[in-house]
Structure 1
């Protein structure tokens, strides 16, 4: 996967102190990450009692620190991080992108605890339309299938962080 970086937990230098964001957001991110990544899923607390929360969407204008926040989340949870840009997944041949997504989730499971960070998620997971070709939908379908498998795993499932400045353009299934 080109344009993908594996960032080892011990080499991350960005912390929550380096991120300029509302302290309440940081506390909420810490709580969700601690309950779902560090301790495994704890289904007895708040939102986690109702949903198997294994991901989050970070959105805001360019330059607001979404990538830094993702790195701080991974560092704080002592997790490895795989940072993906759309060009790392989009392949020119039918089926290659789906294979890359499977490999991404397999690698993330092996690097557990791990955070998968997908930047510019709107360009990978744009809203599906009835006029889309099957090969245009297959990337989203494969990602959703891999996410579904996460819900059946316990300890080694990666936490998924998506970042975008266009959340309204992301497919409803991904959201």
Structure 2
């Protein structure tokens, strides 16, 4: 049975800290739901009701467009080892881009990756624990390096060109937060 909390609990913090993978879900008012897996040591708990994750350049920029429109976001962690458990964080998100004053301080919390695009800040309104007994057991072998290698090969100018060509509109025609001013 699921249990809800008003803030991230110590047990949830411990589970989150052990995970190498998390999932982010957003949706526009009208259109497609977006669900993305994330990894690469890109998640941080800033406080009992605030978290952040480093968003790397990818094939789309759906989360940013959805947050710009309505702010709704859910983050899910699954225990793939040990005791079965799922933790969900429900909240409102906003985007910090590289041109924002807060970028330098926030980006220092994460590993430096070529292709770092933006930081998603989530004000957590509610958390949920559930059993996770249907989640399979998996062994973590390491992060893939293909994404980082691709953006390192393209360089900063190539990344910015990619943003202009592929990250300026969501699949539903919404505008994400501007990546360059």
Q: TM-score, normalised by structure 1?
A: 0.24
Name whichever structure is richer in helix by fraction. 1
Q: TM-score, normalised by structure 2?
A: 0.24
Name whichever structure is richer in strand by fraction. 2
